[in-house]
Amino acid sequence: MSPSSTGPDLRVSVAGIELKNPIIAASGTFGYGIEFEDIVHLDRLGGLVVKGLSVEPMIGNPPPRMYETAAGMLNAIGLQNIGAQAFLDEKLPALRAIKNVVVFANVFGHTREDYERTIEILNQGEGIAAYELNVSCPNTAQGGIQFGSDARLLDEVVRTAKRVAARPLIVKLSPNVTSIAQMARVAEEAGADAISLVNTFLAMAIDAETRRPRIANVTAGLSGPAIKPIALRMVYEAARAVKVPVIGMGGITTPVDIVEFMLAGARAVEVGTASYFDPVATEKLVDGLTEYCREHRIACLSNLTGGLITD
């Protein structure tokens, strides 16, 4: 059958994992996935990344911890989560019961040992496709510098994670760096099977009337359409620097955004803040992307990756 009678082929492959389309719900914006079961057909998404998981449960930062900005959102949730073991016991079985859902587990820690222990716990669970390592996290043993903002710390944490991980390892880069290409290379050389980017940009907002920060933590991470052009530039630079697949994200709200990230070099994309404006955004994007491909006579979406014309 011709592609026009069967519909466009949206399949992509990342780190040896086949996805039915490139749209993945981003970590921290889609709960543990299962909370969205009643409103999103989870099996229609390319995949979903669960909230960042740590060794122990965490209650996160005090409120206020979210604030809407021009075309974006600030958050300092503080990585609130139920802990890796509770995720395996209380959330993963329900996700596994829904057929054909690709689940990625996002992992973070405050020391290398934290990352190691969290992955060891998650290795025991069934139904996780890969790990996504959140390195935008302060290293408490190194005076609070983010793992992902220092080449040596990044190298160490990726090597540690790769050594223990029983599944493919996606390293999610921090955009709060001078050279994203260098950090992408460090992650690749340390063993990353894929990289994803970007995480949120360090930012803040102030209430001039009260002269107080809008977020109790004072600084926070900026996401949403406001960051899209910077994210796109970073995905472009990272994709040119490495051979491993790149998953792009940052401010995606439309099918055209997805096409732009793929042209810049992404194999797949993640969608985060859009789910706050519309909880069904991820599934609508699957429909929208299918329609876009039909209208533009794109038979095989994966051919777009890296297709940017610069001459």
Ligand X SMILES: Cc1cc2nc3c(=O)[nH]c(=O)nc-3n(C[C@H](O)[C@H](O)[C@H](O)COP(=O)(O)O)c2cc1C
Which amino acid is present at 23?
A: I
Residue with tokens 């930062």: 61
Spatial distance between the Cα atoms of 300 and 306, rounded to a whole number of angstroms? 14
| Cβ-based nearer residue to ligand X, 3 or 279 | 279
Residue with tokens 């206020």: 64
By the rule CB under 6 A, 273 interacts with ligand X? yes
Q: Work out the number of other CB atoms within 10 angstroms of the CB of residue 155.
A: 17
By the rule CB under 6 A, 26 interacts with ligand X? yes
CA-CA-CA-CA torsion for 205, 281, 131, 159, nearest 10 degrees?
Answer: -40
By the rule CB under 6 A, 51 interacts with ligand X? yes
Count of CA atoms in the C-beta half-sphere (13 A) of 186: 22
Smallest CA-to-CA distance from 125 within 82, 157, 165 is with 165
| Cβ-based nearer residue to ligand X, 271 or 286 | 271
Candidate list 137, 170, 238, 281, residue with the active-site label: 137
Of the candidate spans 5-13, 26-34, 160-168, 295-303, the one that interacts with ligand X by CB under 6 A turns out to be: 26-34
Which residues in the 71-100 window bind ligand X by CB under 6 A?
Answer: 73, 75, 77, 79
Distance in Å, CB of 148 to ligand X, minimum: 10
| Cβ-based nearer residue to ligand X, 252 or 298 | 252
| Cβ-based nearer residue to ligand X, 190 or 222 | 222
| Cβ-based nearer residue to ligand X, 8 or 172 | 172
Q: Which DSSP letter does residue 50 get? A: P
By the rule CB under 6 A, 223 interacts with ligand X? yes
Spatial distance between the Cα atoms of 51 and 35, rounded to a whole number of angstroms? 12
By the rule CB under 6 A, 52 interacts with ligand X? yes
| Cβ-based nearer residue to ligand X, 131 or 292 | 131
Smallest CA-to-CA distance from 234 within 160, 177, 290 is with 177
DSSP of 141-192 = GGTT-BGGGSHHHHHHHHHHHHHH-SS-EEEE--S-SS-HHHHHHHHHHTT-
By the rule CB under 6 A, 246 interacts with ligand X? no
Report the residue closest to ligand X, judged by CB.
28
Of the candidate spans 21-29, 140-148, 180-188, 255-263, the one that interacts with ligand X by CB under 6 A turns out to be: 21-29
Question: Can 293 be counted among the known catalytic residues?
Answer: no
Among 46, 250, 255, 265, the residue binding ligand X under the rule CB under 6 A is 250
Among 22, 125, 213, 224, the residue binding ligand X under the rule CB under 6 A is 224
Cβ atoms of 186 and 163 closer than 8 Å: no
Tokens of 208: 């001039």
Spatial distance between the Cα atoms of 58 and 111, rounded to a whole number of angstroms? 15
Of the candidate spans 3-11, 204-212, 271-279, 291-299, the one that interacts with ligand X by CB under 6 A turns out to be: 271-279
Q: How many residues bind ligand X (CB under 6 A)?
A: 26
Spatial distance between the Cα atoms of 95 and 158, rounded to a whole number of angstroms? 27
Q: Work out the number of other CB atoms within 10 angstroms of the CB of residue 69.
A: 16
By the rule CB under 6 A, 200 interacts with ligand X? yes
Among 91, 112, 167, 172, the residue binding ligand X under the rule CB under 6 A is 172
Cβ atoms of 170 and 130 closer than 8 Å: yes
The catalytic residue positions are 137
- Site of interaction with ligand X (CB under 6 A): 26-29, 51-52, 73, 75, 77, 79, 106, 134, 172, 199-200, 223-224, 227, 249-252, 271-274
